[in-house]
Amino acid sequence: MVQISSLSNLKELYEVDDYLWIQKTIKLLKEKKFNELDTENLIEELEDLGRERKNKVESLLRQIIIHLLLLEYWSQESQYNASHWKAEITEFRFQINGILTKNLQNFLFSRFELIYQNSLKYTKRKTELDTFPKKCPYSLEQLLDEDWFPKKS
């Protein structure tokens, strides 16, 4: 096993202990020692971080839509599950609103139709129903509003 303390090269450190690599990279950035940075891996990590954040907010929005569709349209199960679905929606909204930036909100808006179609596909498979709207009946603003729920007909 390679001793971390004996590593002199940041690129080697990245392969052995990425957390320690991050700490050392942050230290170099704070000290403005840009020429000592492992820019290749730093770029890769930043790109990966951006993808992870986008995947996270997309997944959370998908969960909000799924649970709203279940709540509003799966009347057979609503009596037993409505409170649970509302609690889940509330939790997903807390999570998404805690990390949402204007950039990520724009990303969600740009993928809104695809996110809805993926949510719809899942919900149809789960419920074996085909009574859901083909287009999303909710706005992005409604989906992100921690207090908004559709009114029952």
Is there a domain that residue 28 lies in? Answer: yes
Is there a domain that residue 120 lies in? Answer: yes
Q: Over the stretch 111-148, which tens digit does the pLDDT of each residue have? A: 999 999 999 999 999 999 999 999 999 999 999 999 99
Please spell the DSSP secondary structure of the chain, one letter per residue.
---GGG---HHHHHHH-HHHHHHHHHHHHHTT-GGGS-HHHHHHHHHHHHHHHHHHHHHHHHHHHHHHHHHHH-HHHHHHHHHHHHHHHHHHHHHHHHH--HHHHHHHHHTHHHHHHHHHHHHHHHH----S-SS-SS-HHHHH-TT--PPP-
One domain for residues 62 and 132: yes
One domain for residues 29 and 99: no
Q: Domain range for residue 23?
A: 8-36
One domain for residues 61 and 21: no
Q: Over the stretch 56-114, which tens digit does the pLDDT of each residue have? A: 999 999 999 999 999 999 989 988 999 999 999 999 999 999 999 999 999 999 999 99
Q: Over the stretch 37-60, which tens digit does the pLDDT of each residue have? A: 999 999 999 999 999 999 999 999
